Structure formats: structure tokens, C-alpha cells
Chain A
Amino acid sequence: DQQVKQNSPSLSVQEGRISILNCDYTNSMFDYFLWYKKYPAEGPTFLISISSIKDKNEDGRFTVFLNKSAKHLSLHIVPSQPGDSAVYFCAAWGSGGSNYKLTFGKGTLLTVNP
């Protein structure tokens, strides 16, 4: 039962254009959402987060949008740079049974072409 879904395994974008990464979730108990970036041979690094009481959070080139009614969030990167090429994970904090834990999607590989 995959509660956090990233339906696009990969995305390719030209440098300077917008990258949009999408994430859907099924658990209405999720209350805090995050995006992580992962380079090969490294652990994930935190990128940006959003509380379930907000619908947008911005940090420099990165903006996360949350649509609670659709159970959907997205990460926008503008403008995209070659150094942004990495795997991006969507994650959500919430209760699954008796556990309050962080649930990850399977990731989207973003390639930004020069």
C-alpha cells in the first residue's frame, strides 16, 4: 500500500526552464510534507517543506504547492540548473496505524540539460 506516489520515474528539462515534480498521497492523516534531493552515493538532503495548513512555500528557486483536497503536492524549480540533476523524493509525516512516521515516495530522477 503505497501512501505517497511519485508517478513519474524521470523528468528531463532544459536549463533555464521550469521543472515541475509531482506527488500524490492517499493518507489524510499526513500533516507535514517535504521534498528531498539525492545525489548518487550520498544520503538525501532536505530541500523544502510545507505544513498541511498552508498551500504554498517558497525558498529561492524552489516552491512547493499543496492541494489538500486533491491530495497532491508539487515542487517547482525555476530556473532549472544542471546542478539540480538528481533524484527528488517527496515525503510526508503522519500516522499510519499507531506510528507517526515519515513516508517516502519512490523518487523522480530529474535531468537538467545544458
Chain B
Amino acid sequence: KAGVTQTPRYLIKTRGQQVTLSCSPISGHRSVSWYQQTPGQGLQFLFEYFSETQRNKGNFPGRFSGRQFSNSRSEMNVSTLELGDSALYLCASRLGVASYNEQFFGPGTRLTVL
């Protein structure tokens, strides 16, 4: 079974631009979550989608948005990029939304904002 895949793996953008990151979950998984990892803040929850609906949202500004498609694939968008948005963005999928449903992480997309 293929794991969680994220594209692109690396991305360089400049301030003010926008970016879209993509995540394909493990087949059969209906929940997709996004996290931001930075050296100073660690792993921070962005949002979770289940069956195309956003279930939970972390404490990030409205510049960060996401969506999920009917095939469970998910995209994350960041508009008006700032230098502080440079981070590793991780996507995780799981079968359901119970706490005991194990999350499987992708390798991440490394975003650099210049």
C-alpha cells in the first residue's frame, strides 16, 4: 500500500506570492491533517479535513486555507507569503477521526520564502 505522498517536496517562493501544496492520503483514508514544523515552534496543527469538510482548525491566520476533494486528496494554500512561513509542511492521513486512529505522515514539503 502506498504511503502518504506530498508534492512538491521543495519549493522556493518570494514574499507576497501564494503557494499551493498537495497531499494524497493512503488509499481508504478519509481524514487529512496539515501541520507546520519550524525549529522554534515544533509541529503545529493547521487543520483537519474529513469527507471534504474542515473539522478542526489551529491558530493560524486566514492566509492559510485548505480543502479536500471527493477522492480525499487535499490541498493547502498560503496567500501573501511572509518570511516566517518558511517551514516544513507535513500532511497526515488516517482512516477515521477517533483519537486511536493512527496518523500516517508524508515526507513533507519544504517551503522557503525569500
Contact = CB atoms under 8 A, between A and B. Distances in A.
Contacts of B99: 31-32, 93
A43 B45 contact: no
Contacts, number: 49
A40 to B, nearest CB: 11
A101 B107 contact: no
Contact-residue bracket for chain B: 20 to 34
A52 B22 CA distance: 34
Label chain A's interface by main secondary structure.
strand
A43 B106 contact: yes
Nearest to A45: B105
A102 B90 contact: no
From B41, B56, B100, B106, residue with most partner A Cβ within 10 Å: B56
B45 A44 contact: no
B42 interface: yes
Contacts of B103: 46, 102
B102 A46 contact: yes
B26 interface: no
Given A99-B56, A101-B58, A44 B43 contact: yes
B92 interface: yes
Interface stretch (A15-23, A67-75, A103-111): A103-111
B63 interface: no
Nearest to B97: A100
A105 B42 contact: yes
Interface of A: 31-32, 36, 41-46, 49, 51, 89, 91, 93, 99-107
Given A93-B99, A99-B57, 10 more contacts: A32-B99, A43-B90, A43-B107, A43-B108, A46-B102, A91-B43, A100-B56, A101-B56, A104-B42, A107-B43
Interface of B: 4, 33, 35, 41-45, 48, 55-58, 90, 92, 99-100, 102-108
